[in-house]
């Protein structure tokens, strides 16, 4: 090279402003080759970056470990690269990684951490495969999971950290676990590991072992992992068990959360084992004596008991009469005299009350109680207080299509049927003659204690005019009355006695007319002759025409009664 730039072949540096002849250059190359050959094995010239060397610790400072690897200079390794600083000793031999044969300051650059990772990688590649188990320490968080030191860094995905819900991922940092190798990528020189798979395998193994060694009736401790409306799921060291709400206590509870909370530890009894599905049925109340044993002997029918109202439901009130023993007071057993539709009308939650045992159903865990039985039943003496035929004064409580309900005394009601309201009036609805709240006189017609029914009548207070109708107004007699109703087939006449008779259109007049209103009107006072009696069907047939004829008002003309169609009252 004749210009001013030449190259140092050994150091790869530009030498400026030096002129070399071709002869000089050839001689320089020879000297350089001789220098490299004479350096021999173990010299700096024979070393390449990435090699692992053996070195001796010659000095330990606060921040560095100085290592001699037999080269022209010693290497400084940060003390932080050593996992166990207490094991560092002068003169001890360690492996180091040659990072640079010569750094910027002319010294070699060594790394103990890289050497350890390289050896670990070589070990994993040569001795491990996907599925192998290796121990490591969680060192830091990264996106999507954690990094684990297994001699080199491996990735632990978030989904593979644990087999339970993770509340705080930081709690895993710095901890050492066993991991399963999921994937080894030789090209990228990275490893993916899982802790969850080992935990699942361990859980399955424990589950099988536990199922083989467990028996119905055993007592085991479990942790509450889930609470539902129907019960509690417990983890019994790897096996899930259901503690149903009905097996939690002999008492009545609405929800399992009244007794347990998530994370609670419970000692439970094994009630049933399903080895095929790996499930257990558990019991808590079975650890205690069943309070329903000998319940019939302790609380026979008719026993008077005391207790506290613990719950109100639409159909009654539950009363706790003993620890774990509750009975039901149905609304129908709360009062003799009230129609109870809401138990809150009689009792309140927390009240201390007395009751009478009505029945015990041990198998169903039920006791029926009553509080009205503590008082006398007004129906017990109703037949003696209200004998048939006795007169009473009663209040109209309610009206229905078929009659009127009355109250004889609190708790004792009776019925006046619509047919017993009047002898002479055809009543379509009780409201035609009665009003709610009215007080009326009536007579007792019947008493049925068993069915709690009393029937009464109003019309029975007077005599039945139909019984002697043939004597009081025999056929042929003349009667007076008022027109009460007009129909197409005639006019109804209300007689002085209150009984109604019918003047058919054919018996109205001896002259021509088109309609009944042409002859009579409502409220007209008329006189007629009785022409027919039917006491059985309560019917009287009258004739104005015959009465007029008898009085000498007979026409010589033929009697024509318009275009009416003869009808009978329905």
pLDDT of residue 46: 54
Per residue in 436-455, pLDDT (tens digit) is 988 999 999 999 988 889 99
Q: 29 falls in which pLDDT band (50, 70, 90)? A: very low
Question: Which one is predicted more confidently, 121 or 530?
Answer: 530
Residue 5, pLDDT above cutoff 60: no
SS3 string of 182-207? Answer: EEEECCCCEEEEECHHHHHHHHHHHH
C-alpha to C-alpha distance for 370 and 392, rounded to whole angstroms: 32
pLDDT of residue 268: 92
Q: 543 falls in which pLDDT band (50, 70, 90)? A: very high
pLDDT of residue 105: 67
Residue 40, pLDDT above cutoff 60: no
C-alpha to C-alpha distance for 337 and 540, rounded to whole angstroms: 47
User: What percentage of the chain exceeds 70 in pLDDT?
Assistant: 88
pLDDT of residue 378: 84
Residue 33, pLDDT above cutoff 80: no
Over residues 278-292, the mean pLDDT reads 85
Over residues 146-158, the mean pLDDT reads 89
Average pLDDT, the chain: 82
Over residues 260-283, the mean pLDDT reads 88
pLDDT of residue 104: 65
Provide the whole-model pTM: 0.43
C-alpha to C-alpha distance for 360 and 358, rounded to whole angstroms: 7
Over residues 320-330, the mean pLDDT reads 88
pLDDT of residue 463: 81
Residue 207 makes CB contacts below 8 A (sequence gap 6+) with: 238, 239, 278
Quickly tell me which residue has 């297994």 as its tokens.
Answer: 150
pLDDT of residue 65: 87
Per residue in 68-98, pLDDT (tens digit) is 888 777 888 888 888 777 778 888 888 888 8
pLDDT of residue 201: 85
User: Residue 518 is encoded by which pair of tokens?
Assistant: 């042409």
SS3 string of 414-471? Answer: EEEEHHHCCCCCCCCCHHHCCCCCCEEEEEEEEEECCCCEEEEECHHHCCCCCCCHHH
pLDDT of residue 23: 57
pLDDT of residue 89: 83
Phi, psi (degrees; rounded to nearest 5) at 379? -80, -15
Over residues 482-499, the mean pLDDT reads 88
Cβ neighbourhood burial of 172 (10 Å; 0-12, 13-18, 19+): middle
Q: 288 falls in which pLDDT band (50, 70, 90)? A: confident
Q: 194 falls in which pLDDT band (50, 70, 90)? A: very high
Residue 27, pLDDT above cutoff 70: no
Give the chain's domains with CATH numbers. 5-39 (no CATH), 45-117 (2.40.50.140), 128-199 (2.40.50.140), 214-287 (2.40.50.140), 295-374 (2.40.50.140), 378-461 (2.40.50.140), 469-550 (2.40.50.140)
pLDDT of residue 28: 43
pLDDT of residue 18: 40
Per residue in 470-489, pLDDT (tens digit) is 888 898 899 999 998 899 89
Residue 422, pLDDT above cutoff 70: yes
Lowest mean pLDDT among 110-124, 217-231, 477-491, 513-527: 110-124
Question: Which one is predicted more confidently, 325 or 29?
Answer: 325
């Amino acid at each position: 090279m004749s210009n001013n730039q030449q190259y140092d072949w050994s150091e790869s540096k530009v030498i400026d402003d030096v002129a070399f002849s071709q002869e000089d250059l050839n001689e320089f190359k020879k000297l350089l080759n001789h220098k490299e050959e004479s350096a021999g094995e173990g010299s700096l010239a024979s070393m390449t970056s990435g090699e692992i060397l053996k070195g001796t610790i010659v000095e330990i400072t606060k921040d560095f470990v100085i290592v001699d690897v037999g080269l022209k200079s010693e290497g400084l390794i940060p003390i932080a690269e050593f996992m166990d600083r207490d094991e560092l000793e002068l003169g001890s031999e360690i492996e180091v990684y040659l990072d640079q044969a010569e750094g910027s300051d002319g010294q070699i650059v060594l790394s103990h951490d890289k050497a350890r990772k390289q050896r670990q990688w070589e070990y994993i590649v040569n001795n491990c495969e996907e599925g192998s188990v290796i121990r490591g320490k969680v060192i830091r968080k990264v996106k999507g999971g954690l990094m684990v030191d297994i001699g080199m860094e491996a990735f632990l995905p978030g989904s593979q950290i644990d087999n339970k819900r993770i509340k705080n991922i930081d709690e895993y940092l710095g901890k050492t676990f066993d991991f399963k190798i999921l994937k080894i990528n030789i090209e990228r020189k990275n490893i993916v590991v899982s802790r969850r798979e080992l935990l699942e395998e361990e859980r399955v193994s424990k589950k099988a072992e536990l199922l083989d060694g467990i028996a119905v009736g055993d007592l085991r401790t479990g942790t509450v992992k889930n609470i539902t409306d129907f019960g509690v799921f417990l983890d019994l060291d790897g096996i899930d068990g259901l503690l149903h709400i009905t097996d939690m206590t002999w008492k009545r509870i609405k929800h399992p959360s009244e007794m347990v909370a998530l994370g609670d530890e419970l000692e439970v009894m094994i009630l049933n084992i399903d080895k095929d599905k790996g499930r257990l049925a558990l019991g808590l109340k079975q650890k205690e004596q069943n309070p329903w044993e000998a319940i019939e002997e302790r609380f026979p029918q008719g026993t008077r008991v005391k207790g506290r109202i613990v719950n109100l439901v639409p159909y009654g009130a539950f009363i706790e009469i003993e620890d774990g023993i509750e009975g039901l007071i149905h609304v129908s057993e709360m009062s003799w005299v009230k129609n109870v539709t809401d138990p809150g009308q009689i009792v309140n939650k927390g009240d201390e009350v007395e009751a009478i045992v009505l029945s015990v159903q041990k198998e169903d865990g039920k006791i029926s109680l009553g509080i009205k039985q503590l008082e006398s039943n007004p129906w017990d003496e109703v037949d003696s207080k209200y004998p048939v035929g006795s007169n009473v004064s009663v209040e109209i409580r309610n009206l229905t299509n078929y009659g009127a309900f009355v109250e004889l005394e609190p708790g004792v009601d009776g019925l006046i049927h619509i047919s017993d309201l009047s002898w002479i009036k055809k009543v379509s609805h009780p409201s035609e003659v009665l009003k709610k709240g009215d007080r009326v006189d009536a007579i007792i017609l019947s008493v049925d204690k068993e069915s709690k029914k009393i029937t009464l009548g109003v019309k029975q207070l007077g005599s039945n005019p139909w019984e002697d109708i043939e004597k009081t107004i025999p056929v042929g007699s003349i009667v007076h009355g008022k027109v009460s109703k007009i129909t197409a087939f005639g006019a109804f006449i209300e007689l002085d006695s209150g009984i109604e008779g019918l003047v058919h259109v054919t018996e109205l007049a001896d002259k021509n007319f088109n309609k009944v209103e042409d002859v009579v009107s409502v409220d007209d006072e008329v006189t007629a002759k009785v022409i027919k009696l039917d006491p059985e069907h309560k019917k009287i047939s009258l004739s104005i025409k015959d009465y007029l004829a008898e009085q000498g008002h007979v026409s010589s003309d033929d009697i024509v009664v318009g275009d009416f169609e003869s009808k009978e009252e329905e």
